[in-house]
Structures are given as C-alpha cells and as structure tokens.
Amino acid sequence: MFAYAIYRLGAFLALRLNLPTARRYAAAVGRFIGVFQRRNRRTLYRNLKIAFGDRMSPRELRRLRTRIYGNFGAFVLEFLWLPHLDRGNVESLVTPESVETYGRIRELAGERGPVIFLTAHLGNWEMAAVIGSLMGIPLTVLVDAHPSPLVTSFFNERRKEKGLRLVSVSEFQKCMRALRQKRLLAIAGDRAVTGQGIRMEYFGKPALVPDGHAVLARKFGVPILPGFLVMNEDGKYEIVTDEIVEPRVTDDFDADVRDCVARCLRVFEKHIRRYPEQWYVFRPIWENTREDRLRLREERIRARKDRIDARIKKMDARRERMEEHRRRLQADRERLEETESRLRGRRDDPAEEDE
C-alpha cells in the first residue's frame, strides 16, 4: 500500500511539472533514495563489479552506481508522466533518426510477419514500447508483476492506455497467440525474473538467464530484433537496434536455443558497455557464492581503509598547516616581546629622557 501511495503521489506531481524540470527533481530523488536502499545498492554494485570490474576501479563503480540511481529516478518519472504522451508530441521526445528507425521496425513487422523485439533492462524499455505503439506498431509486451497488486494494476493501466497488449510472465504461453496474430512481441530477456531459464556465460561468468525468447524464435521461425531506447546527451531518446538474430535450425532443438541465447547475450554485453549509466539491475543476476561474498567483503574493507587513510592524510596535512601557523605566531610573539623590551628599556633610560 505504501509503494502504491508513493507512485500515486509521484504521478500527481509529474503531471504538474514540465518534463525537463521533473526529470531534474526525479534524478535528485533517485540519488537520495539510493542512499537508503542498502541491499539493492550492494546488489547493483556487485552486478557492476562483475560486468566492469576489469575496467573500472571501486571508486569509479560507486560513482557509476550513483549516476544509475539518478537516471532511474528520471526513468520512473517518465513512466508516471505517460498520460501527457500522445501521437502528437511523441516525436518531440526522440531523435529524427529514431522516428525513421521505428518506421523501419513497423515495415519489418509488416514484411516478415511476427517479430520478437528483444531488449534488456537498459535505457527506458517502458517508453520504447509506448512510443512504438503510438507510432502504429502492433505491440504485445511481456510484463512482470510488482509485489503489490495495486502497483501492478496501476502500471498496467498506463500501458494499456497507450494501446499495448500485455502478457504476464506467469502466462508465457499467451506469447504464442501474439505471434500467431503476427504482432511484434516485446521481451526483456536479460534477467530470469521467474527463476527459470538456462545457465550461460554472461560477462564472462555463468548466470541464470531467460530462454523463452529463443524457444519461441526457434519453434516458430521468428526473427529476433535486439533494440534499446537510450537517452543521449541532449535529453532525447534514441532507439538503438542491432543485427537481426535468426534462430539456428538443426536436429538439436536445445542446442539451437542455447546458441540463440548466447548470441543475444553478446548483443546485450556490447550495448551495456556502451551505456553503463543506463543499466538498471537492482536484482541479483549472478549467483552469490561464498567466494564472491568474501571477495566483496574484502573490497568493502579495502575501500573503508582507503577512506580512513585519506582522512588521516587530510588530518596530517591540516596538522602540518596548523603547526606552521603556530610557528609563525610564535615568531611574531617573540618579535613583539623584543620590541616591547626595547621600548621598556628606552623608557627607563634617564639619558634618553634628557635628550
């Protein structure tokens, strides 16, 4: 109930501010909330460590985590702002090239029949589907449920208002109906939200990942179009697509599925490395082994030691400055005492008085 009330309040405020201003406030709120989400913050750091630990220092990873929380705050704000979005103003949110890309996606769906649009928790996947629907693409979206039924209903109402058809992950078999109806099926395929899937190498480490998109593609002979809606430096959305993944067809169905999943994961890795600050993964992706926990604990201890060393160094520098200041004051005092002594001597000298 609390989460539902927060989203309702956010929606009320979002609809009363212009989008750029609302984004700035939401980003600040996102960074603020991130400070108190201890478990999610640690999970996000661990995911980032596995994906980017070979190219980023712990300090850089923590800064990246802060930026991700800010960007996710803006992401949520834009979802709450959806009632303002319609066919008349949708093109103002995206680059001109993205309008053309959506047109090509619509043409692809018309020429090839059913298509699976595969995305990840990268960029704004909610907005990607809504913009596609407003631009005339017949879209069915696979959605996950929020722990709160009220929040789930609130989210789904906003999606349906924009012409999206929804399929819950608990009713995955209904995706087949969407493909038979030659609709474009949108799936986020980077996290096994149901706890089911296959183990594959993801950023060089085994992870449980979903395989439903690959099973559908192999079974129905449907092409997979990977795509992500990311925000550029100008505050405009850009739809970034990759090469179509055609499912391999051999006598070994399971091997074909694994091959398809592996190729999709390589696409995910490429674009996540390109837009790390828009990768929203606050849930575990990789199994947290005892070795991982110990390594993460060691890193936290080292990071805390580094912070303490930095404070000690700062205090030592301050102590040296204070000592130098004390020496200057002492020298000034000694000079004043000498001057005072000379003045006293002159006052007590009778010869000097006679003169």
- Partners of 324 in the β-ladder: none
Q: What pLDDT score does 139 carry?
A: 93
Of 272, 288, 304, which closes a domain? Answer: 288
Could you give the number of structural domains in the chain?
A: 2
Q: What pLDDT score does 350 carry?
A: 62
- pLDDT tens digits for 48-79? 999 998 899 999 999 999 999 999 999 999 99
Same domain, 64 and 49: yes
Same domain, 137 and 229: yes
Which residues of the chain register pLDDT less than 70? 1, 288-293, 295-296, 348-355
Record the tokens describing residue 14, joined without a space: 């979002």
Taking the whole predicted model, whether its pTM rises above 0.75 is answered as: yes
Q: What pLDDT score does 270 carry?
A: 97
Question: Which amino acid, one-letter code, is at 335?
Answer: R
Same domain, 316 and 259: no
Q: 35: buried, middle or exposed (CB in 10 Å: 19+, 13-18, 0-12)?
A: exposed
Residues written for the chain:
355
CA dist., res. 184 & res. 224, Å (int):
10
Same domain, 136 and 65: yes
CA dist., res. 219 & res. 336, Å (int):
96
Q: What share of the chain is helix, strand, coil (3-state, %, to 5)?
A: 65, 15, 25
Q: What pLDDT score does 291 carry?
A: 65
Q: What pLDDT score does 36 carry?
A: 92
CA dist., res. 169 & res. 145, Å (int):
8
Q: What pLDDT score does 74 carry?
A: 93
Q: What pLDDT score does 132 carry?
A: 93
- pLDDT tens digits for 263-322? 999 999 999 999 999 999 999 999 765 666 676 678 778 888 888 988 999 999 999 999
Contact at 8 Å (CB) between 185 and 116?
yes
- Partners of 117 in the β-ladder: 186, 225
Of 288, 318, 341, which closes a domain? Answer: 288
Of 288, 321, 342, which closes a domain? Answer: 288
Q: What pLDDT score does 5 carry?
A: 84
355 in a structural domain: no
CA dist list (Å): 67 to 44, 61, 278? 12, 10, 8
Q: What pLDDT score does 72 carry?
A: 95
Q: What pLDDT score does 216 carry?
A: 95
Name the residue with tokens 């999606």. 159
Domain that holds residue 25: 2-288
Same domain, 255 and 303: no
